[in-house]
Amino acid sequence: MNEQEINRYWKKIVNTMSEGFMLVGPDGIILMVNDSFEKLTGYSAKEVIGRPCTILRCDACEMTLKGSGRSWCKLFAEGQVLKRHCLLRVKNGSYVPALKNASVLKDETERILGAVETLTDLSELERLDQKVELLSRQLEEDTGFHGILGKSASMQKLFDVIEKAANSEAPVIIYGESGTGKELVARAIHQLGRRRNEAFIQFNCAALNEALLESELFGHIKGAFTGAYRHRQGRFEAANRGDIFLDEIGDVPLSIQVKLLRVLETQQFEHVGDDHPIAVDVRIITATNRNLEELVAQKRFRDDLFFRINVFPIFLPPLRERTEDIPILVNNFIRKLRAKTGKKISGLSPDALECFMHYRWPGNVRELKSALEYAFVIAEKGLIDLNQLPANMVEAKGSVRPVEVTGRYSTSTDFALNPLEEKEKTELIKALRQCRGNQTQTARLLEINRVTVWNRIKKYRLDLKEVLSNN
């Protein structure tokens, strides 16, 4: 094929490229695009030819705002741009990550004729990177139910609830104390759901201040605020077609709650600094260790947002209420720590195991793992003994009886309550007696939700017959 024939078929040639192709004039006007460009940006050739290339709002195109002609864009001053990561604003208003290569075209007299750019879509690559990270973490937790360990009745019920939640598209909220494994539950819901092959984005809402939180969740455009030198894709945009897990949802400021509510109701949001609505298809999973109903009563959490996220609540039992799972957790963590450290530690001594079974575990599974990591630093081989456990555990030994989960609740509590819990329990018992055990009337009397009454009966292991008989 000679040069004349190549020129004859060059349009067909560029249309076979998997990368987006764009030819622009020296003034930045788009002269030609290929099929891959149309697929990447959502714009048809007719919609962009004759328009300036700035329609894509590429954050890597460092405009010089002042000046004209050859200096209007750095590309025409430098001659080429190679392997530059950027974000392109596509037709629906969202931003797509891309890899840009560009070169200026000149004739034999060095007169600029235009520029050619290729754009490689990186969104699939980023999604695969997230998948690899997810699978890597899953390999580290290769036992149990999607990394969640437990054979107790409460955990078996939890696994059943997780499977039901995964089969639904309703918003899920996970309640549980710190260290109970809310992130693992959220990840299991994703892995079992229909969106398992799409992105799973997780974010801790308590990690940032209000301004940064808004930018992280919804993204921002270049120049939206001081320091916004580039476009930024938000977590919701990254989670499109997949699941987003928002941990510590109770710590979200009221101003951000309004925007979250809009996403739930309309499946749309705007970047910070922009008013162009962006549509997303995201399943929202939230988690908290706080009492959202109390926050609603205190006007610190919007009631309309609470009702939208509290569609499918999941309650994680604290470790003190499933002590029969402690040996399973201990053996699993010891096996992993032994492989990681190379130490020939075989397990816990009888006294150490008794200490583990009697301890209240305010930090739950996370604290149990930390206690074993501490012991692996102190111990060298054989069995871990009492003197190799954290001091606070040994000091608490014998002060708390292990909780036996029997499904029956009495007026006696098997673990120490703080003053607020004591007051809450006393008020609940008083209201139940006053309402003769009617939980709906009790809820009205206490000005709380009926589900909350049921949860508190379960929390304090109350036997209604015993409560009423002692009236």
List, for residues 90-142, the tens digit of each pLDDT value.
888 888 888 888 888 888 888 888 889 999 888 877 676 666 665 555 554 44
Burial 142-179 (b: 16+ CB within 10 A, else e): eebbbbbbbebebbeebbebbeebbeeeebbbbbbbeb
Are 286 and 174 a contacting pair, CB within 8 Å? yes
**Region 255-275: what's the mean pLDDT?**
91
The whole-number pLDDT of residue 67 equals 43
Confidence band of 192 (pLDDT split at 50, 70, 90): very high
How far apart, in whole angstroms, are the C-alpha atoms of residue 271 and residue 178?
32
**Burial of 31 by CB count in 10 Å (0-12 exposed, 13-18 middle, 19+ buried)?**
middle
The whole-number pLDDT of residue 437 equals 85
Nearest to 195 by CA among 165, 221, 215: 165
159 contacts: CB under 8 Å, gap ≥ 6:
145, 148
**Region 434-446: what's the mean pLDDT?**
85
Question: Residue 143: phi, psi to the nearest 5?
Answer: -125, 170
The model's pTM: 0.63
92 contacts: CB under 8 Å, gap ≥ 6:
42, 278, 279
Long-range own/partner contacts, residues 297-303 (CB < 8 A, 24 or more apart): 297/447, 300/254, 301/250, 301/254, 301/257, 302/254, 302/257, 302/258, 302/261
The whole-number pLDDT of residue 316 equals 94
How far apart, in whole angstroms, are the C-alpha atoms of residue 240 and residue 218?
12
208 contacts: CB under 8 Å, gap ≥ 6:
216
11 contacts: CB under 8 Å, gap ≥ 6:
32
Per-residue pLDDT at 26 exceeds 50: yes
Per-residue pLDDT at 70 exceeds 60: no
**Region 221-229: what's the mean pLDDT?**
74
Are 445 and 434 a contacting pair, CB within 8 Å? yes
pLDDT digits (tens, 9 = 90+) for 390-424: 988 887 754 444 333 333 334 444 445 666 677 88
Provide the token pair at 200: 């799973």
What percent of the chain is modeled with pLDDT above 90?
A: 43
The whole-number pLDDT of residue 71 equals 52
Lowest mean pLDDT among 128-132, 185-189, 432-436: 128-132
**Region 327-352: what's the mean pLDDT?**
91
Query: What is the identity of the amino acid at 232?
Result: R
Confidence band of 47 (pLDDT split at 50, 70, 90): very high
The whole-number pLDDT of residue 166 equals 94
Q: DSSP of 272-336, one letter per residue?
A: BT----EE---EEEEEESS-HHHHHHTTSS-HHHHHHH-SEEEEPPPGGG-GGGHHHHHHHHHHH
Are 205 and 246 a contacting pair, CB within 8 Å? yes
428 contacts: CB under 8 Å, gap ≥ 6:
442, 446, 453, 456, 457, 460, 462
The whole-number pLDDT of residue 363 equals 93
The whole-number pLDDT of residue 86 equals 83
Structure letter (DSSP) for residue 462: -
Strands 344-348 and 381-384: parallel
If you search the block for the tokens 């705002």, which residue do you land on?
65
Sign of CA dihedral 93, 95, 96, 99: positive
How far apart, in whole angstroms, are the C-alpha atoms of residue 238 and residue 228?
19
The whole-number pLDDT of residue 49 equals 92
Straight-line distance from the first to the last Cα atom of the chain, in angstroms, rounded to the nearest whole number:
100
* Run of H or E residues at 245: strand 243-247
Per-residue pLDDT at 208 exceeds 90: no
Tell me what percent of the chain is helix, strand and coil, each rounded to the nearest 5.
Answer: 45, 20, 35
* SS3 call for 246: strand
Nearest to 458 by CA among 444, 439, 445: 439
Query: What is the identity of the amino acid at 331?
Result: N
The whole-number pLDDT of residue 416 equals 54
Per-residue pLDDT at 365 exceeds 90: yes
* SS3 call for 124: helix
**Region 1-23: what's the mean pLDDT?**
78
- Mean pLDDT, the chain, integer: 83
The whole-number pLDDT of residue 72 equals 60
Long-range own/partner contacts, residues 19-23 (CB < 8 A, 24 or more apart): 19/118, 19/119, 19/120, 19/121, 20/98, 20/118, 20/119, 20/120, 20/121, 21/116, 21/117, 21/118, 21/119, 22/53, 22/116, 22/117, 22/118, 22/119, 23/114, 23/115, 23/116, 23/117
Angle, in degrees to the nearest 10, between helices 450-459 and 419-434: 120
Lowest mean pLDDT among 34-43, 70-79, 246-255: 70-79
Are 80 and 73 a contacting pair, CB within 8 Å? no
**Burial of 295 by CB count in 10 Å (0-12 exposed, 13-18 middle, 19+ buried)?**
middle
How far apart, in whole angstroms, are the C-alpha atoms of residue 122 and residue 135?
20
Lowest mean pLDDT among 242-246, 373-377, 396-400, 427-431: 396-400
What percent of the chain is modeled with pLDDT above 70?
A: 85
Q: Is 352 or 456 the better-scoring residue by pLDDT?
A: 352
pLDDT digits (tens, 9 = 90+) for 281-305: 999 999 999 999 999 999 999 999 9
The whole-number pLDDT of residue 131 equals 63
The whole-number pLDDT of residue 68 equals 45
Structure letter (DSSP) for residue 402: P
